[in-house]
Amino acid sequence: MSDSFPFSNSEQQRQWHQGIKDANRNNIFCHCRTCGYEWMDSIFDCACTRCNSKDIERISAWQFPDD
């Protein structure tokens, strides 16, 4: 396996693709910069559901490329 491949196994790749599908359904993919938790939300100005941090990276689903 190449070191440049972003997933260490096919399950991680499947989970990533499922996350993209969920983001398209729920609008916003969120990543907490404080604790690393990731989730989908429909509110752009949300806090982390795990640690309540407001330091969130948000990616609107429309920014993901279509297949």
8-50 pLDDT, tens digit per residue, is: 889 998 998 887 777 666 678 899 999 999 998 888 788 999 9
Range of 54's domain? 10-63
Reference 42, options 34, 30, 31, 33; nearest CA is: 30
Domain presence at residue 4: no
- For residue 52, the model assigns a pLDDT of 97
Domain presence at residue 17: yes
Residue type, 10: S
- For residue 54, the model assigns a pLDDT of 96
Domain presence at residue 3: no
Query: How many domains does the chain fold into?
Result: 1
Q: Could you read off the pLDDT of 46-66 as tens digits, one per residue?
A: 899 999 999 999 987 666 565
Domain presence at residue 57: yes
C-alpha torsion sign, points 8, 56, 38, 63: negative
Domain presence at residue 5: no
Question: Residue 40: helix, strand or coil by DSSP?
Answer: strand
Domain presence at residue 55: yes
Reference 41, options 58, 20, 55, 54; nearest CA is: 58
